[in-house]
Amino acid sequence: MTATTTPVSRSITKSVLSREQSEGVGARVRRSIGRPELRNHDPFLMLDEFSVDKNGGFPDHPHRGFETVTYMIEGQFQHEDFAGHKGTIGPGDLQWMTAGRGIVHSEMPVKSQTRAHGLQLWINLPKEHKMCEPQYQELLDGQIPRATPQDGVVVKVIAGESHGVKSQVYTRTPTMYLDFKMDKNKTVTQIIPSTYTGFLYMLKGTTFIGDKEFEGKAHHTLTLSEDGATTVKIQTKDEDAHFVFIAGEPLKEPIVQHGPFVMNSSEEIYDTFVDYQNNKNGFERARNWRSTIA
């Protein structure tokens, strides 16, 4: 007879509270990745949990060199860019925007509602994709597949794979993005590629992660160990939990960020400012453009 062994789970190496701060116009965000204590988590640049009332928002602003992933939890958000792309996403909907060589856009809540609440993740692009053409992938809540590994555990597979269910989202930087809702007194194991870095961001409730049952509380970012283990054990005890599980292949490239521009060198950042100010190399349509929703 051979004894079966339970795979060793990755552990939590750091827990960082996301304190609320102002951003944009009249918007409040809890910054996860991107705080001084957790500046980057390669390939991830930033994760914000945002709450915006009808008078706030993120008016016209540019991006280059990375992707923004907006996932709505409550309310509706409008989006408009300088190429004429315009739309609205509501609860559970997803917009995966590849800024590539250049986008100027506006993100504003629908004025008829009380507030818009969601997550925005910034994913770095590898050097060969930083100047690609902009692209959108948009999915309504009902188009995002779910995995149900057991009763009381539902996983929305926004990107990557969970329990045999795969997302249709194409990721230039290999990424998994999972939304977990777990009832109390449940245990689930999530597979993660051995080379991926990752983290959990707690939206609600409490979880216990890894073999040592590290306690994760609401509004905390919990970074996973980088030890090559391919499983993460997650438990709930006396309360339900809602969190996102985000992981990806680190790029291991230089990161030079200046506000909404993320490149590999200071020279490329300088060139980006020149391009933006002179409406060229991807910013041609920015000349005299103003959004109608801001």
Residue 277 belongs to what H/E stretch? Answer: helix 266-277
* Residues counted in the chain: 294
Is the previous residue joined to 126 through a cis bond, with omega within 30 degrees of 0?
Answer: no
Cα–Cα distance, 119 to 146 (Å, whole number): 19
61 is in an annotated binding site: yes
Cα–Cα distance, 75 to 57 (Å, whole number): 13
Residue 162 belongs to what H/E stretch? Answer: strand 161-162
129 is in an annotated binding site: no
**Residue 124 φ/ψ, nearest 5 degrees:** -70, 150
CA 89 from centroid of its chain's CA atoms: 16
**Of 130, 158, 164, 128, nearest to 145 (Cα)?**
158
User: Residue 48: what residue type?
Assistant: D
258 is in an annotated binding site: no
Angle ∠(108,17,211) on CA atoms, nearest 5: 120
User: Residue 152: what residue type?
Assistant: G
Q: In the numeric block, which tokens belong to residue 133?
A: 């053409």
105 is in an annotated binding site: yes
Burial of 216 (0-12, 13-18, 19+ CB in 10 A): buried
Please give the annotated binding residues for Fe cation, written as ranges: 61, 63, 105, 107
Please give the annotated binding residues, written as ranges: 61, 63, 105, 107
